[in-house]
Structure 1
Amino acid sequence: MFRNYFKIAFRSLKKQSFFTLINTLGLAIGMAGSLLIALYIYEELHYDNMFADADRIYRIDMEIKFGGAEMKSGETSPPMAATLEKDFPEVENTVRFRSLGSNLFRSRDKTTNIKELSTTYVDSTFFSMFGLELIHGDEESALKETNTLVMTRTAAENHFGSVDVVGKSVLVNNEETYIVTGVMEDLPDNSFLKDYSIFMAMAGNVASRENIWGSHNYYTFVKLSPETRLDNFQLQLDGLLEKYVLPWAQKTFPGMTKESFAASGNYIRYHTIALTDIHLYSENQNEMGTKGTIQNVYILSFIGLFLIFLACVNFMNLSTAHSLKRSKEVGIRKTLGSNRLQLIVQFLTESGLVTFTSMILAIIIAFIALPFFNDLAGRSISIPFTEPLFYVTILFITILLGLFSGSYPAFVISRFIPVDTLKGNGLKKGSKWNIRSMLVIFQFGVAVFLIVGTLVVFQQLEFIQNKDLGFDKEQVLVINDTYAAGQQLDILKQDILNLSAVKSATVSSFMPTPSVRSNSTFFKETAMDQQYAIQMQTWDVDDDYLNTLNLQLIAGRDFNNQSAADSTAVIINESALVPLGLSAKDAIGKRITQEVERENPEFFHVIGVISDFHFESLRENVGALGLFMDKSTGSMAIKLKTDDFASVIASIESIWEKRAPGQPFNYRFMDDAFEASYKEERRLGSIFMVFTSLSIFIACLGLFGLAAFNAQNRTKEIGVRKVLGASVGQITIGLTTDFLKLVTVATLIALPIGWYFMNIWLQDFSYRIQIGWEIMVFSALLVITVAIITVSYQSIKAALANPVKSLRTE
């Protein structure tokens, strides 16, 4: 019997080859898109799960408000780890990271440096905490001594051409010598440490041993015992403020109490976040690894489910649209003794064959599209062909989709009454029409929602790109790691300034593009108490900084390197005026200090006030900033006055090779660096665009199927209308209007939903667009136009049919 089911199913599908092709293609595209999304979501949800005891590892995060600034951070104070081990018996192990960013490394026998982009200090407990093993070296002793480091396999091969390098020495930033005491495997792509290649012994970081509770630069992880209750642990964390932080602060502010601290509107709160939650749930701006969001996971999950559901809806609509062609077959089968169950099994067998074929085709499509998707999503996802669970899951989903997509047509077609089908009546007009109409409304509602989302994301990105940031980022070339030039740095700058294509240049480690920074606490000379503290970023710059970046002075003057007094001068931005309680004019000449605990503190006098400029992401409000004239040699920003970038870069590189021989020449354009900080939003927009296109395509297939069904169901009506004088245009408009009603309803439902959810997404930006009417109108017009084009083919085809053929059976 089952063999007969398959044989008939195969013959039926082959006979209706075009219908089978559309069904298979629609399901395959929906499945392929959903498979790619599922692989992406699986990797996102399993971030950092590869570490031993990952379910018991937590990081200590903090929320702080002090000096008018609020901050959420994954970094805490140097003594936090030792304090937790001493006071908390449930803490089994701790480890700290002090991220160092990029540094230059070279083996002692070479003259050319290699730049490692992500390096960090780390405690010697690193390996026992995360259950990591070394390829070479001993995990217990590898990072216990000062000036020792561990490399990843890739870093070791880059520097030495081998992984057996324990005992060899490297020079860091042309200054300090470190001994390689271990080599480890590269960390997985879904790990917060994936980008880190060099792990340096924390023992060499003097600041890590200081008992300073007001400094927050160390990511502190703890491993808790299995029986620990997090709520009890949190209660103990709450006591750290009174037991340790306030006594430390009272050395500077003797009168400070817990009550006075809170009364000033200040707070410090510590809490835990699970290691496996950091990637998706952390609210901190600065993280060691790539930061995702659970919102994006939800969005992509819904898109994946929508694609599958839309594809199944198409199968239902296309199957019922062609059911009239098989109505006589059903009538004859019933007349010859087939019962309804046998007919249901027959049609489910056909849907199963289509679904199984679609799944195979979907895997092929996904495999081909995977490199493009990885590039789009910034991931290194692969299809787990070697995992048995993958095939079990695929088989289960195939069976489930076969039953789901084939159940409605099977039950509808098997319900045909033999007398009616043999007369040619088939499915009566109006039967199940509402269900199919609702499915089409849902399909196009999803399409409209995705169109709105895509337009909003790209319009916000365009707003970011075109917004006046308060500084000139165009045609500004930034040379990285200029400290490598050593004593030749000033000569390097002068040689570059001598180029005719260069307008100006400035040397500073602080550039106005989003990066990891920290605040410092200042006080006015007349109000040196904690309640009047001012949190402000401090940037060391030279006297060409304002001119090169075109920062606008609104009061006072610029730095003058010929003035000895300017060594204790500061230029502040407008946002710094708020906590100072001064106007720009009144701020000139005022003095601020950090050294309230000293009898004779060093004061900085304000010589200028500049307009606010966006040195952080547009997700954040502009904070207080102070510019100080001092040596900071990390980068050089060069303002160009030519569009011949290739030529001027070649000239600058030639000067670099002369003044910094053997040092890597790394550069970037400032506008590119700024836009790179929004790469996750760009990726989300691109993903939206791709899957919006797929959803529209699949929805159009469904509409095509329903149009075919409607045209078949109204063949005689159309014939009568033509005989009575209706024109092709009138009939086409009549048929098309029915579907435009469905699309219009879908649009009216989806537009407010899209507006609501995209407004929620925009809340992450302090500076954002308003969703205008033009987005709504364009989304509606686009989907209606696509629907008209889709339906018109079937409508015109039905209107052009010979009425004699449709009426000859009467």
Structure 2
Amino acid sequence: MLRNYFKIALRNLLKQKVYSVINIFGLSFGMACVLLIVVYVKDELSYDKFHKHADDIYRIAWFSNNPQTRTPHPMALALVKDFPEVEAATSLSPLWGAGLTKQTFSVRNPEKDITHDEKGILSVDSTFFEVFSFELLKGNKQEVLRNVGGILLSETSARKYFGDEDPVGKELAINDDRTLLMVEGVFKDVPQNSHFHFDALISYVTMKALEGRDSPYYTWADFGHYNYIRLKPGSDPDKLESQLMQWAMKYVDVPEEEMQMAMQNGMHFKLQRLTDIHLGSRIRWELEANGNKEYVYIMSAAALLILVIACINFMNLTTARSTERAREIGIRKSLGAYKSQVSLQFLGESLLTAIFAMLVTGLLAEVCLPFFNVITHKSLKINYFQNPELILILVGGTIITGLVAALYPSLFLSSMNPVVSLKGVGKLKPKGAGFRKVLIVFQFIISMALLSGSLIIYNQLQFIHNKDLGFDNDKIIVIPLKNEDLSDKLESMRTELSKIKGITSVSATSNVPGRQFNQNSISRTDDLQSRVSASETYIDYSFFETMGIEFAAGRGFSRDFPTDSNAFVINETAAKSINLADPVGKEITWYTDNNRREPLKGTVVGVVKDFNYGSLHEPIRPLLFYLAPAYNDMLIKVQGENFAETIAAVEQTWKKFENRFEFEYSILADDMGLLYEGEKKTANVFGGFSVIAILIACFGLFGIASLSYSQRIKEVGIRKVMGASVFRILTLLLRDFSVLIALSIIIAIPVAWAIMDNWLENFTYRIGISFFDFAISAVILVLVALVTVSYLTIKTAYSNPVDALKEE
């Protein structure tokens, strides 16, 4: 009997090819979207969980009105000493250049003369492997990182410098053989799902030997390191966190009243669970750009909504087509078929369709995965054997969808009187038609919401791209100054570069807009209570000219004023923050940590107009400029159309002065664009899902329209015989669907408006939502829907009434 059911089910699928294709591909598109998003979400949620004690590891962050990830270097080990629940701790930090920009090193294998630029180097405590479970392939975890002059390499880095040779015990030269480090071990490449990555590790023991142990950088006075602790299982992190401020008072050299005031203002140390950092932390000085939990929710919701649309299509078409088989059901029941057998037949056919959709889903997901990886900037893989939950989702979704889709027709038709069934479709009451219309409306509500949401996201990104940031970011080339010795050659380089056609200005700076800035406090010298946190950057004389930054008052630094070496330029926000009226000529105090024991006092010689040197998610913060030869990047303003020729000439000139490091450059506008990678990924995924949602909804609309028109073919014939025009027939046929789509649009607008207005709250600088955004989406949706049913509508309207009526 089961074999017979399978034959009939397969025969019906082949007989109704159009509906079968619509059902299978509509459902498979939805399931493929869910499958891809499940893989994406699984990857996002897996960050840092590969560590053995991941749930017990916490990062210590400093929370204030401008929170940051960095805390004092001695803090980690002091916690181990003073709190028994802290089982292990470690401190780490990238190797910084001026302005806390990650420094680039020239690393060379002296034996093979293999040289590469390296930036992913961390300095770490000897307890690093007591907290983290990064796999050490060569070397002893108990001994590495404890000796002066040692270095650990990643597996890829070791192969890059030593090939297949064992690197342990061999030396690497850093920056023109100034420093020789011996390889102590090799660790497995850091997994992609880690919130920070590195290619080499150098112990703080080595760094302190090179820089001096009395450097302020390694004391409680400098909040410049990343501290992680591992608690004993079962410990209460909230209880420990509540004690940290009071405990720190015995180590931090700050007056008690100042610490109490900080506590009253909500400043505190916070324990961030390691596994929450990637999606839950977006504060200052993150080691790498983290993900965004909100965008994970958005993409998950979009994928689920598409699956809902696909399932609605499946149920709608299955239910609508079921009434066409009334005679078949009547014959079966008149020949003795039980109600349960008829129900089983419908369930079997529905499940068979869903199974075919499942097979197509796997193929679609594999085909779309490379494009999905490009959009999300990931390297995801669908491995069913390593991810059994994917198989569970596919099989479970298939069974549930198939059963739900067949539930109504199997119960309705199997319970019909065979006498009534044998009279034909025309004698059946069109039960369920109203419910199917509701489902169609719901489909197009989702499609409209996705489409208008995509348009608003796109408009916000365009607003960001076109917004005047207050400087000429689209005309600036950024070239990293990797070699500290270049500071002495900067004037000569500037002279040579200025001779190149198309270059109008050359400058240098420690920090480039769009990247991180070091921060310290500033205040009015006559009122130390006005102290606020300010970003800072070291610049040369031509910085403001090169960047095209305008002044609100005063002037920039000038060689005509020798006293400018001890002067400041600040932005408007800095002046307002410390209540400095008429700032030019006034003295302020800068509490710099640049190896100074005492704060630096200087005169304000200029105030620049506020410009967006950070993300448009955030408001403009106080900014201080200081004239000092501590540069990380050269800025070149270019004009003209021969960009490739200009860059080639710049590289040729560059190599006259620098032969140790590789030449590289970027466009400042592109660097600023990296601040919005999350939004771009979301816009791409959202846009793609919108197209899929509309496509699936139109699949369903075509199927329902086809069935509806086939049931109205006699009505059309009668109307034409009675003298109705083709235009009247077209209007009549399109009216019902037009009303449904219009209703969908009306309902979707306030829903999408509320959701997208909430999303735009993430930006300090944002667009306003207008009805024009929804009007465009509505027009697109209506046009696509009309095109979908136009063929069927025209065919039905022009049908020969004789053919329609002769069966009567």
When normalised by structure 2's length, the TM-score is 0.93
CA positional deviation for 1:52: 0.7
Question: Is the Cα contact below 8 Å between 2:592 and 2:600 reproduced in 1?
Answer: yes
Seq. identity, %? 34
CA positional deviation for 1:476: 1.2
Is 1:158 the counterpart of 2:160? The answer is yes
- CA gap of 1:355–1:168, structure 2 versus 1, over 3 A, is same
- 1:641-672 deviation line (CA, Å, top 9, x unaligned): 22211111111111222211132001111111
Aligned to 1:130: 132
SS at 2:332 equivalent: helix
- 1:200-239 deviation line (CA, Å, top 9, x unaligned): 2122444888675453222221111112123322322353
How many residues in Structure 1 have an aligned counterpart in Structure 2? 792
Larger CA deviation: 473-482 vs 105-114: 105-114
- CA gap of 1:155–1:426, structure 2 versus 1, over 3 A, is farther
Residue among 163, 187, 191 paired with 2:190: 187
Aligned to 2:291: 292
- For the residues of structure 1 that align with 2:750 and 2:779, how far apart are their CA atoms? 15
2:785 is aligned with what amino acid?
Answer: A
SS at 2:516 equivalent: coil
Question: Is the Cα contact below 8 Å between 2:461 and 2:680 reproduced in 1?
Answer: yes
Question: Is the Cα contact below 8 Å between 1:553 and 1:611 reproduced in 2?
Answer: yes
- CA gap of 1:227–1:642, structure 2 versus 1, over 3 A, is same
CA positional deviation for 1:571: 0.8
- 1:270-306 deviation line (CA, Å, top 9, x unaligned): 2222111111111424422341111111111112212
Question: Is the Cα contact below 8 Å between 1:572 and 1:610 reproduced in 2?
Answer: yes
2:589 is aligned with what amino acid?
Answer: I
Question: Is the Cα contact below 8 Å between 1:241 and 1:268 reproduced in 2?
Answer: no
| 1:520-535 → structure 2 map (5 Å cutoff) | 520-528=520-528, 531-535=529-533
Question: Is the Cα contact below 8 Å between 2:60 and 2:227 reproduced in 1?
Answer: yes
Question: Is the Cα contact below 8 Å between 1:93 and 1:129 reproduced in 2?
Answer: yes
- CA gap of 1:144–1:412, structure 2 versus 1, over 3 A, is farther
- For the residues of structure 1 that align with 2:497 and 2:391, how far apart are their CA atoms? 61
CA positional deviation for 1:39: 0.8
- CA gap of 1:285–1:310, structure 2 versus 1, over 3 A, is farther
Is 1:30 the counterpart of 2:37? The answer is no
Aligned to 2:203: 201
Aligned to 2:223: 216
Aligned to 2:633: 635
- 1:531-574 deviation line (CA, Å, top 9, x unaligned): 32132122111101111111112211221235331110111111
Is 1:99 the counterpart of 2:94? The answer is yes
Aligned to 1:67: none
Aligned to 1:504: 505
CA positional deviation for 1:324: 3.9
Is 1:87 the counterpart of 2:86? The answer is no
CA positional deviation for 1:393: 4.3
- 1:55-103 deviation line (CA, Å, top 9, x unaligned): 1111122211xxxxx2122222223212221221111111222133352
Larger CA deviation: 205-214 vs 131-140: 205-214
Question: Is the Cα contact below 8 Å between 1:99 and 1:119 reproduced in 2?
Answer: yes
Aligned to 1:76: 71
- For the residues of structure 1 that align with 2:357 and 2:795, how far apart are their CA atoms? 29
| 1:406-805 → structure 2 map (5 Å cutoff) | 406-425=406-425, 428-483=428-483, 486=486, 487-512=488-513, 514-528=514-528, 531-583=529-581, 585-594=582-591, 602-805=600-803
SS at 2:341 equivalent: helix
Question: Is the Cα contact below 8 Å between 1:113 and 1:664 reproduced in 2?
Answer: no
- For the residues of structure 2 that align with 1:259 and 1:231, how far apart are their CA atoms? 20
- For the residues of structure 1 that align with 2:474 and 2:778, how far apart are their CA atoms? 37
Aligned to 2:98: none
Larger CA deviation: 381-390 vs 446-455: 381-390
- CA gap of 1:111–1:663, structure 2 versus 1, over 3 A, is farther
SS at 2:66 equivalent: strand
Question: Is the Cα contact below 8 Å between 2:502 and 2:646 reproduced in 1?
Answer: yes
Question: Is the Cα contact below 8 Å between 1:51 and 1:131 reproduced in 2?
Answer: yes
5+ residue gaps, structure 1, are 65-69
- 1:89-120 deviation line (CA, Å, top 9, x unaligned): 11111122213335223224266742234332
Question: Is the Cα contact below 8 Å between 2:503 and 2:639 reproduced in 1?
Answer: yes
Question: Is the Cα contact below 8 Å between 1:137 and 1:182 reproduced in 2?
Answer: yes
- For the residues of structure 1 that align with 2:407 and 2:296, how far apart are their CA atoms? 30
Question: Is the Cα contact below 8 Å between 1:78 and 1:209 reproduced in 2?
Answer: no
Aligned to 1:335: 334
Is 1:239 the counterpart of 2:239? The answer is no
CA positional deviation for 1:408: 3.2
SS at 1:588 equivalent: coil
> What value does the CA root-mean-square deviation take over the aligned residues?
2.4
- CA gap of 1:441–1:761, structure 2 versus 1, over 3 A, is same
CA positional deviation for 1:244: 4.4
CA positional deviation for 1:429: 4.3
- CA gap of 1:286–1:687, structure 2 versus 1, over 3 A, is farther
Question: Is the Cα contact below 8 Å between 2:37 and 2:303 reproduced in 1?
Answer: yes
- CA gap of 1:173–1:520, structure 2 versus 1, over 3 A, is farther
1:424 is aligned with what amino acid?
Answer: G
2:407 is aligned with what amino acid?
Answer: S
Larger CA deviation: 554-563 vs 48-57: 554-563
- For the residues of structure 2 that align with 1:540 and 1:601, how far apart are their CA atoms? 16
- For the residues of structure 2 that align with 1:494 and 1:27, how far apart are their CA atoms? 65
Question: Is the Cα contact below 8 Å between 2:483 and 2:661 reproduced in 1?
Answer: no
Larger CA deviation: 297-306 vs 113-122: 113-122
SS at 1:633 equivalent: coil
Question: Is the Cα contact below 8 Å between 1:323 and 1:413 reproduced in 2?
Answer: yes
- CA gap of 1:103–1:806, structure 2 versus 1, over 3 A, is same
- 1:228-283 deviation line (CA, Å, top 9, x unaligned): 123322322353455544xx212xxxx834554467xx442122221111111114
- 1:410-440 deviation line (CA, Å, top 9, x unaligned): 3344344422332223674441122211211
Larger CA deviation: 30-39 vs 71-80: 71-80
SS at 2:738 equivalent: helix
Larger CA deviation: 479-488 vs 145-154: 479-488
CA positional deviation for 1:509: 1.9
1:121 is aligned with what amino acid?
Answer: S
CA positional deviation for 1:388: 6.8
- For the residues of structure 2 that align with 1:136 and 1:700, how far apart are their CA atoms? 59
Question: Is the Cα contact below 8 Å between 2:44 and 2:193 reproduced in 1?
Answer: yes
Larger CA deviation: 731-740 vs 207-216: 207-216
- For the residues of structure 2 that align with 1:599 and 1:663, how far apart are their CA atoms? 34
CA positional deviation for 1:809: 4.4
- CA gap of 1:239–1:52, structure 2 versus 1, over 3 A, is same
- For the residues of structure 2 that align with 1:139 and 1:651, how far apart are their CA atoms? 49
2:591 is aligned with what amino acid?
Answer: Q
Aligned to 1:347: 346
Question: Is the Cα contact below 8 Å between 2:591 and 2:598 reproduced in 1?
Answer: no
1:336 is aligned with what amino acid?
Answer: L
1:365 is aligned with what amino acid?
Answer: L
- For the residues of structure 2 that align with 1:623 and 1:93, how far apart are their CA atoms? 37
Question: Is the Cα contact below 8 Å between 2:54 and 2:275 reproduced in 1?
Answer: yes
CA positional deviation for 1:164: 2.2
- 1:772-807 deviation line (CA, Å, top 9, x unaligned): 121121122221222222233332232223333443
- For the residues of structure 2 that align with 1:371 and 1:604, how far apart are their CA atoms? 56
- CA gap of 1:339–1:114, structure 2 versus 1, over 3 A, is same
Question: Is the Cα contact below 8 Å between 1:91 and 1:223 reproduced in 2?
Answer: yes
When normalised by structure 1's length, the TM-score is 0.93
- For the residues of structure 2 that align with 1:505 and 1:16, how far apart are their CA atoms? 71
2:747 is aligned with what amino acid?
Answer: I
Aligned to 1:177: 180
CA positional deviation for 1:628: 0.8
1:97 is aligned with what amino acid?
Answer: L
Question: Is the Cα contact below 8 Å between 1:572 and 1:609 reproduced in 2?
Answer: yes
SS at 1:464 equivalent: helix
